[in-house]
Amino acid sequence: MIEARQIGIGGLVLATASLLMFSSSYAEPTTLTHPPEPVAETQVITFHPANPGGDARKGECWSQSDAIDRPGAWRCVVDNMIYDPCFSDPAPGGNPICGADPARGQKGFVLQLTKPLPKPRGDYSSDPIPWMVKLADGSICTLTTGTSAQVDGKDLPYECSDSRECSDDGKCPHLTGITTEFKHDKVWRVEKLAFRSSNGHVKRLKRETIAIVTVWK
């Protein structure tokens, strides 16, 4: 999911830290989602959202994006909600577009700036890690911009869409995430882990190397 959280509330960026409160009463899942589909070649996309139209929303951007290390991506706030990344409209004088999600077909909205954009940082990576990926099992994994989980000594800065939410009584079946150790080839691959935790003790439920269908940078 694109980061959109209320300031002062844990939200998505701190979600992984709170996941270390899982119940141990659930059976281990036998699969993460559905069986992986064949992938002939990973599609790598540098995402530029189209103008979504509709009513603009007022807000400001105070820094470069924490999710995408490239020019024209910003970290913004609208009505006490943080959006990261927002993308500069390529049209001259255009405003950023926030909330766009290419994996789920969400167009987002135009951000009417109340302050000028900050000065670009300029020291971008020549090979930035992806912002979002779609895996062969159908799940979508998005780079978090806050605390990430650690499982078996591996950082999992990507949260995946087949994580199961905790119930009101604090019981959680499992969460999933991927590492940043992408294996680049015609078909990209990455390690995916499912895990849970009880009283601060993290337990790995499943680990597999899986093909990537689409990469968004």
Over the stretch 133-170, which tens digit does the pLDDT of each residue have? 999 999 999 999 877 888 988 999 999 999 876 666 65
Residue range of the domain that includes 192: 21-42+126-216
In a domain, 10, yes or no: no
**Number of domains making up the chain:** 1
In a domain, 157, yes or no: yes
In a domain, 11, yes or no: no
Per-residue confidence (pLDDT) for residue 34, from 0 to 100: 63
The C-alpha torsion from 70 through 71 and 75 to 76, rounded to 10°, is: -150
In a domain, 159, yes or no: yes
Measured CA to CA, the distance from residue 130 to residue 37 in angstroms comes to: 21
Model pTM above 0.85: no
Per-residue confidence (pLDDT) for residue 166, from 0 to 100: 62
In a domain, 137, yes or no: yes
Give the residue from 95, 63, 96, 84 showing the smallest Cα distance to 2.
Answer: 84
Per-residue confidence (pLDDT) for residue 122, from 0 to 100: 76
Per-residue confidence (pLDDT) for residue 131, from 0 to 100: 95
Per-residue confidence (pLDDT) for residue 23, from 0 to 100: 30
* pLDDT tens, the chain, 217 aa long: 456 544 433 333 333 333 333 332 333 343 445 677 789 999 999 999 999 999 999 999 999 999 999 889 999 999 999 999 999 966 656 799 999 999 999 999 999 999 999 988 778 888 889 999 999 999 999 999 877 888 988 999 999 999 876 666 655 568 899 999 999 999 999 999 999 866 667 889 999 999 999 999 9
Per-residue confidence (pLDDT) for residue 155, from 0 to 100: 93
